[in-house]
Structure formats: C-alpha cells, structure tokens
A and B are shown apart, each in its own frame.
Chain A
Amino acid sequence: EPEVTQTPSHQVTQMGQEVILRCVPISNHLYFYWYRQILGQKVEFLVSFYNNEISEKSEIFDDQFSVERPDGSNFTLKIRSTKLEDSAMYFCASSGHREIDEQFFGPGTRLTVL
C-alpha cells in the first residue's frame, strides 16, 4: 500500500543552524502539506502546496520557513535559522485530486533544537 515517507526520523541541531526535512508523498497525489506538533500539544497546520506553489500558510510559517518540490517525488521543508521553540514533530501529508480528499500522514521527523 502506498505511503508517505519522511527522512530523517530524528534530527538534532544547534540553535541558528539550517535544517531540511524531507518527504516523499504518495506518488499520484497532488496536494502536499506540512504540520507540526509540539510535544504534548495538538497538531498544527503549517503550509499547503499545490501545482508547485504555496496554497495557504499559517501564521506559524514565517520567513524562516520555506518549502520546495525540487523534483517529481520529494517535498521539503527548510528552516533557515532554527530556534529552541522549533523543537517539535514535523509531519508531511498528501492527498489526492481534491483538496478535501483524505490526507495521509508520514511517520514524522522529530526535530530537537539545542
């Protein structure tokens, strides 16, 4: 069964460093998302991406964040200068041919900023 994959599973970085989180969405899906979950809290939307551009972004998704689909399979989230409060689980998700279709989530990348 097709699934969303994410790498790495865990990333530890120093404050101020850049990180790139990688995702491979389900192959025939058209809508891509990033969410984050701070430990013990609910899952929050960061950004959605369709047709090679950002569809919507939350207020969390400020100038230090960027997304890219560099090729036909990968979808990346870059954090330019990490802060302590960026420590969280980051989930990638994808959905099919409509933005209201079921979203399937990857296993997440746990980011720890020291």
Chain B
Amino acid sequence: GIQVEQSPPDLILQEGANSTLRCNFSDSVNNLQWFHQNPWGQLINLFYIPSGTKQNGRLSATTVATERYSLLYISSSQTTDSGVYFCAVVNYGGSQGNLIFGKGTKLSVKP
C-alpha cells in the first residue's frame, strides 16, 4: 500500500520562528489533508490540498502531486501551534476514500 512519510518527527521552535513540515508519499493521491492534533486529542482540519497551494492566515500548504510531496509552512509560530501535525492521503485508484496517515510531526513552540 501507499507509504506516507513525515519529517521531521520532532521540532522545537522559539515563539515567532518559521517552520516547514514535509510529507512524502509513495504513490498518486486523490486527496491530501493536513491536520493539527491539539493537546486534547482533537484532529483539526488545516488544509484539503491534493494539489496546488493554499493559505490560511499564518499557515500555508503546497502539494506537488507529480513529485509526491506536500509542505506545510507555519510562520510566526505561537505557543498555541504546539501539537502534532498529521498528513493524510487517499491513494488514487486504490482504497475507497480511506485516509492513510503519516506518523506526524510533533511541534513544540517555546515562549
């Protein structure tokens, strides 16, 4: 099945710093989503981005489907950005819509 690799696994930042999280996937995808898992365990939708670039406030994401990767940019990080960021994909021509998750990037933003 499709493999989803996220890097780095852990990231520690000072408040105000910028960061880039990466998601590589091993096959073509129909759907790619980025989530933030907050300290209470909730999965918050950040982006639905099977291709192209989107921005939402301090966050933006780019997916280059032909090269099988996606990037999540966090600018001017805040302590509330802490948590785990997951990338998840739906394999094109494979599964019927089920998301395959990466292992996540654990982000800690220090004041």
Chain A residues contacting B86 (CB-CB under 8 Å) are 42-43
In contact, B98 and A110 (Cβ under 8 angstroms): no
Which B residues lie at the A interface, using CB under 8 A? Answer: 30-31, 33, 35, 40-43, 45, 48, 50, 86, 88, 90, 95-104
Choose the segment among A63-71, A73-81, A95-103 that binds chain B (4+ C-beta atoms closer than 8 Å).
A95-103
List chain B residues, Cβ under 8 A from A105: 35, 42-43, 45
User: Interface of A with B (CB < 8 Å)?
Assistant: 31, 33, 35, 37, 41-45, 48, 50, 55-56, 58, 89, 91, 93, 95, 99-105, 107-108, 110
| Beta-carbon contact of A48 and B42 below 8 Å | no
| Contact for A95 among B41, B43, B97, B101, CB less than 8 A | B97
Q: How many cross-chain pairs have Cβ atoms below 8 Å apart between A and B?
A: 66
User: Do the beta carbons of A108 and B41 come within 8 Å of each other?
Assistant: yes
**Which of these, B30, B42, B48, B99, contacts A45 with CB under 8 Å?**
B99
Report Cα–Cα, A66/B29, bound state, in Å.
Answer: 28
Interface centre among B43, B48, B103 (most CB of A within 10 A): B43
Choose one: A41, A42, A55, A110; the contact of B97 (CB below 8 Å).
A55
Query: Main SS of the interface on chain A?
Result: strand
B88 nearest CB neighbor, chain A only:
A43
Determine if A43 and B33 form an interchain contact, defined as CB atoms under 8 angstroms apart: no
CA distance A48 to B97 in the complex (A): 8
